[in-house]
Amino acid sequence: MGVDLFAGLGAAALPPLDRAPRILVFDSGLGGLTVFSELAKALPSASFVYAADDAAFPYGALDDQRLVDRVVAVMERLVAREAPDLVVVACNTASTLALPSLRARFQLTFVGTVPAVKPAVAASTSGLVSVLATPGTVRREHTRAMVDAFAKGAEVTLVGSPKLAGYAEGELRGEPASDADIAAEIAPCFVEREGRRTDAVALACTHFPLLTKRFAAVAPWPVAWIDPAPAIARRVLALVGSLSPKQGEPARALFTSGDARPSGLSTALRLRGIGCVGNEVFPLS
């Protein structure tokens, strides 16, 4: 899908670098791995750090101001420690609430994650589109503004799932949810209206593409599952500009909690090219 989710958002392009760019990918948990995978394909020579604020997962459980304060505090530590050239906030909830504060606080280029309403509408032929998100993203005014801006006559159903992000985390840790549990969470996405059916679902949480195969297996009929990660990767590539011929450092993962990493998670991270799995912790205290 070639639709630009970020047209007009105005993030600053990086100045020319004589080395591989350092890119920080940030999320509350493991959902941002879907974005990291696309970034790593688009910028194979970049140095990546994947940072998960798993001590505060899920962000949807925090009130708005507490969430903003948390994200800014964690980013203070990360920026001081890692000195990134560009930060990708691979979380819809954090992007819709904290990006203005992050851009005001740091002289850095930030790329956020927005609900993929525009490409979902573009992919639909029936005019029935659903946006599958966390309850927090569904209730944000930003999400509803995007629907108003990009629906173009389509009927857009907003579906807030309180459980899918946790199911996605469990999937990566080797503790998958049942088909019945997943089917129950996505069921409201499927709307029938006068002989028409929902045919495109925007995945408005970066955790959800981790479950796309599971969704397809239990869906009542086929739909296009719209993942924003490829568009984010295109946006970052445009901001970085020409690729450096110099190879960056191997990708690393950081976590805010000191919880033990199950073997299934370590394997999942290694398969995505992330080394130093589960060994680096950066608590706020």
Query: Which residues are marked as active site?
Result: 91, 205
- Angstrom distance (rounded) from CA 176 to CA 173: 8
User: Where do the H-state alpha helices sit in 205-262?
Assistant: 212-218, 229-240
φ/ψ of 18, rounded to 5, equals: -100, 20
> H or E segment at 122?
helix 117-123
- Angstrom distance (rounded) from CA 38 to CA 28: 18
Is 210 strand, coil or helix?
A: helix
Q: Which residues pair with 274 in a beta bridge?
A: 251
Q: Secondary structure of 30-73 in the HEC alphabet?
A: CCCHHHHHHHHHHCCCCEEEEEECHHHCCHHHCCHHHHHHHHHH
Q: Is the peptide bond between 58 and the residue preceding it cis, with omega within 30 degrees of 0?
A: yes
